[in-house]
Amino acid sequence: SNGLMIGKRGIVMGVANNRSIAWGIAKALADQGAELALTYQGEALKKRVEPLAEELGAFVAGHCDVTEEETLDAVFATLAEHWGSIDFLVHAIAFSDKDELTGRYVETSRDNFRKTMDISVYSLTALAARAEKLMTSGGSILTLTYYGAEKVMPHYNVMGVAKAALEASVRYLAVDLGGKAIRVNAISAGPIKTLAASGIGDFRYILKWNEYNSPLKRTVTIDEVGQSALYLLSDMSSAVTGEVHHVDSGYHTVGMKAVDAPDI
């Protein structure tokens, strides 16, 4: 550890278990000396998040469901009370009805479209507005996106539309908050087998396809996303904002993908 994050405090939202991308990020931050707060969504996840927080010496800032405004306010009141100010925020939250992460996008229901956009897109803005008040010496906000925002990926459907809106939000927020030295960026991660990913149809096939077609010929880990997040959340990236940084073994750079991998 080089202590890149010593003296910095912040909140990581979206840890569900030890396979979560948010967990990979939290570990990388703690390893560099950051002071962390974690939240959990609902009682079922509380039991998983509490021991993980303890492992990193992080404090648990309580339950947060981004569709419930009062839980957002409660978490930020807790942070204000506990620390007074924060330096970073990680948003690793997304949701869509599993039944619509398969088949055709054209069949998306209005109800799930709204819900997907609310949880996966609006939540970043809702959190940024609250974080702005606590980032009194500037700060760094990071969200997680996917290549399905840029190109049509099988089964990603409404989540791809949501990620496109999320990436646009990153740019608008970067402009709004830039004057306060608050930076807003996204990491576009390659596919990783997490709880959320298990809702996406044919996910194993997508993993194999990425492994076969990416320049590095492999998928990525939550720890690798964590290391890249460290750059975007630390002063190493002090002139970087409004950016979507790909951590995907280079997959997005390849125009002409090969034929099917022999073993898929």
Active site residues: 146, 156
Please tell me whether 174 is known to bind a ligand: no
Beta carbons within 10 angstroms of residue 52's beta carbon: 21
**Tokens 């925002």 appear where?**
149
Note the residues at the interface with ligand NAD (CB under 6 A).
14-16, 20-22, 41, 45, 64-67, 92-95, 119, 144-146, 189, 191-192, 194-197
**58 vs 64 by CB, closer to ligand NAD:** 64
Quote the least distance from Cβ 47 to ligand NAD, whole Å. 13
Shortest distance (Å) from residue 57 CB to ligand NAD: 20
120 vs 241 by CB, closer to ligand NAD: 120
80: exposed, middle or buried (Cβ count in 10 Å: 0-12, 13-18, 19+): middle
In angstroms, rounded to a whole number, what is the distance separating the alpha carbons of residues 223 and 106? 35
Query: Do 15 and 49 touch, CB atoms closer than 8 A?
Result: yes
Rounded CA-CA distance 157/120 in Å is: 13
Give Cα separations from 208 to 191, 204, 212, 230, 258 (angstroms).
10, 6, 6, 27, 12
What CA–CA distance (Å, rounded) separates 62 from 72?
A: 10
- Can you spell out the DSSP letters for 65-131? -TT-HHHHHHHHHHHHHHTS--SEEEE------GGGSSS-GGG--HHHHHHHHIIIIIHHHHHHHHH
Least separation, in Å, of the C-beta of 91 and ligand NAD? Answer: 7
**Residue with smaller CB distance to ligand NAD, 59 or 146:** 146
**216 annotated as ligand-binding:** no
Closer to ligand NAD by Cβ: residue 21 or 230: 21
Determine if residue 27 is labeled as part of a ligand binding site. Answer: no
Which of 184, 230, 232 is closest to 5 using CA atoms?
Answer: 230
Considering the complex, state which of residue 15 and residue 34 has its C-beta at the smaller distance from ligand NAD. 15
Known binder of ligand: residue 226?
A: no
Q: At closest approach, how far in Å is the CB of 79 from ligand NAD? A: 16
Residue 164 near residue 186 (C-beta atoms within 8 A) = no
Confirm or deny that 1 is annotated as ligand binding. no
Shortest gap between Cβ of 2 and ligand NAD (angstroms)?
Answer: 26
On whether 93 is known to bind a ligand per the annotation, the reply is: yes
Annotated binding residues, as ranges? 14, 20-21, 41, 65-66, 93, 163, 192-196
Annotated binding residues for NAD(+), as ranges? 14, 20-21, 41, 65-66, 93, 163, 192-196
